[in-house]
Amino acid sequence: MTQIISGKEISEEIRAELKEQVATLKAGTGVVPGLAVVLVGADPASEMYVGMKNKAAKELGIHSRQISLPAETPEDELLGVIDGLNADPAIHGILVQLPLPGHIDEAKVIEAIDPMKDVDGFHPVSVGRLQTGSGECFAPCTPAGVIEMLVRSGHDPAGKHAVVVGRSNIVGKPMAALLMRKGRGGDATVTVAHSRTADLGAVTRSADILIVAMGRPEMITGDMVSEGTVVIDVGTNRVDDPTRERGYRVCGDVLFDEVKDKAAAISPVPGGVGPMTITMLLANTVRSAEIASDRAG
């Protein structure tokens, strides 16, 4: 029988561990991990996501600060807010919710965040350290969550051939780096495929572990997967469905009903990778607080 890898269950397991870590840190050093989330504008999806982050942080005993700015906020003012958070010892993680209004340079904003408070893992220093394995850094939350799903469900990538479909800076590239690095969750042989890959099916059929993050609904079909493959579907897509009351359904990048019959294990959408992203953001924040406490001590 195919194993269903539940991101929801693994997320709950990690959050229970984090709650204990937060309590231990507070009791031993008096340090309370602090996460600041900066929201520019009033995008409903962003507001909902930020609300989920704040709620999850508070449940774990993490101090959560939300800074909401109007959409017309000048870039210099936003950079000033980030400078203030960089200098605040009570804040260990800084997250600027993307996307930002068009008049603000996202790259400049990301680069303004102290790399040791870059719990999203998007700063160029974080990216470089992840690639080279040198220095303390925080991995982007979604690929870090995928690693936890694999390891905790009994599918250690070490020695396996992992195929990553997708080459984005947020998922595909850091996913490959995490799978290749030495140590827990790594030591895999990695192939990165993408929309321009010739005969994509031949590449995906070669995988022991297949991680799909293309943003294309149900593009990986049953004939593109070999028997016994472990499949992690990172995609979250909304497709029209007149048979549903709301007029659409949510699906991944993998055609679940076909692929699950061949896979040894597979993550569903929803309920797979999605719940892991916020959890890994909180894990990065707690780790940042622990590092800051060690340096202060």
Distance CA 69, CA 57 (A): 21
* 270 cis-preceded (ω within 30 degrees of 0): yes
> Dihedral of the CA atoms 7, 127, 132, 274 (nearest 10)?
10
Closest CA to 288 of 123, 148, 19, 91: 91
Tell me whether strands 93-96 and 34-40 are parallel, antiparallel or unpaired. parallel
Beta strands in 180-282 (DSSP E): 189-193, 209-212, 230-233, 237-240, 248-251, 265-266
DSSP states of 251-270: E-SB-HHHHTTT-SEE--SS
- The CB density around residue 69, as the number of other CB atoms within 10 Å, is 15
Q: Are 72 and 42 in contact (CB under 8 A)?
A: no
For 59, half-sphere exposure in the C-beta direction (CA atoms, 13 angstrom radius) is 14
Q: Annotated catalytic sites, by residue? A: 53, 97, 120
Q: Are 217 and 233 in contact (CB under 8 A)?
A: no
Q: State which H helix or E strand residue 204 sits in.
A: helix 200-204
- Label residue 135 left, alpha or beta by phi (over 0 means left) and psi (-120 to 50 means alpha): left
